[in-house]
Chains A and B, each alone.
Chain A
Amino acid sequence: MNNDQLKKLIYDVGNTQNKASFSKIFEYFAPRVMGYLIGFGLQEEAAEEITQEVLSIVWQKAQLFNSEKGNVSTWIFTIARNRRIDRLRKNENPTYNTQDFVNALYPEENLGDKDMEIKIEKMQSKLNENEKKLIKMNFFDGKTHKIISQDLEIPLGTVKSRIRNILKKMKNN
């Protein structure tokens, strides 16, 4: 469908709540919104939920579409983009950062830098060389998981799970 056809459909929905026109918009855009979200690495279920939301917003807010600002695709793209970012804001998948790491290992507050170093060294002595290297790269050199995976030529998922396991091991010690 070209933009003029889509525009006409959106106006139908906005002005007369025309369900047949909405169905056509739905058919055209739902798989695109899904593809867009899955492309960001979202789980299928989460992608479906957001896609459903995005298309609901299109149904509810069709009268807000302003053709002077851009094409129908642009409008729906921005809705999908914004919903995904809202999700990011409420993030349910926390990842480790250095501070989490430090807090988890040393719950007591105001640990001086020197004490911290000694404690970290002690912890490190419990790890083997490979584990040390990973921890050093991630927490001391500040490299991201992605960079580590490229440097060591191991898959990203492996880097993540190894680091998680090492942290667990250190925490349990």
Chain B
Amino acid sequence: MHNSATLKNELIFQYASGTCNLAKSLMASSYLFLNSKESDLFSQFENYCGKEFDEVTQINSKNLSVEKCITTDQIKIDKTKSTEINPINKFIKSLRDLKWVKKFNGFYEYSFKLSNNEKAKLIKMNPGTRVPLHSHKGKEYILVLEGKFSDEYGLYSKGDLQINDSKIKHTPVACLKEGCICLIISEEDLVFYGPFSPILNLMTFIKSIIFNSK
């Protein structure tokens, strides 16, 4: 069965801690943009990481200087919050007029670069298009940006995120009225890295939050 809530929290936590790649960051930030109710959970996770940051192993360096900070020219920082601008619009202007590549009848893909190494993919399904039953090699994240689709597990509309692992088999069908456009990323295995990884017994932590809030 789907354990989407836990997996969603895991994604948000990874994004808050800065431990996911660009594709997953885009997935998480787009999900948060479309689901403003999750922003509390996101800042809760950020605060948790802030506390861990206090305890991180310290490394001193002679090359750093206070004086350099004070004399440095103004550094531009991106102040636009994920709540103001759709993160996907940093990469593509609009979901219209994209050069979709037809994969089979009624099913189109559009990939775009996130960096030299990473890509993300949009898919478009025309109304009523049915994807044959399939499962996934690793995990697959599907975020609905427009329209609706349904499968054995339910109906997914704009802002809904479905996370499938290799055990899930499904037959998605695009809604008859409007079809759908989704952001899709997949990962083959979960790799935790970075300074938090030793304390990042992520699932335990997230589960404890879920159970405590019930």
Q: A residues bordering B, Cβ < 8 Å?
A: 19, 22-23, 26, 30-32, 34-36, 38-41, 44, 47-48, 51-53, 55-61, 69-71, 73-82, 84-85, 88-91, 94-95, 97, 142-144, 146-147
Contact = CB atoms under 8 A, between A and B. Distances in A.
Contacts of A84: 18
B64 A52 contact: yes
A150 to B, nearest CB: 10
Interface residues of B, number: 43
Contact of B116 (A26, A36, A81, A91): A91
B53 A70 contact: no
Nearest to A41: B193
Contacts of B18: 81-82, 84-85
B47 A71 contact: yes
Contacts of B115: 88-91
Contacts of A26: 64, 66, 69
Interface in B58-90: 58-61, 63-66, 68-70, 72, 74-75, 77-78
A70 B70 contact: no
Nearest to B25: A85
B64 A94 contact: no
A76 B77 CA distance: 13
Interface in B1-49: 17-18, 21-22, 25, 43, 46-47, 49
A75 B50 contact: yes
B58 A56 contact: no
B56 interface: yes
Contacts of B64: 26, 30, 34, 48, 51-52, 55
Contacts of B66: 19, 22-23, 26, 55
Contacts of B74: 60
20 contacts: A19-B70, A30-B61, A32-B58, A35-B59, A39-B194, A48-B63, A51-B64, A56-B75, A59-B72, A76-B53, A77-B46, A77-B49, A77-B53, A81-B49, A82-B77, A85-B18, A88-B22, A90-B115, A91-B115, A144-B191
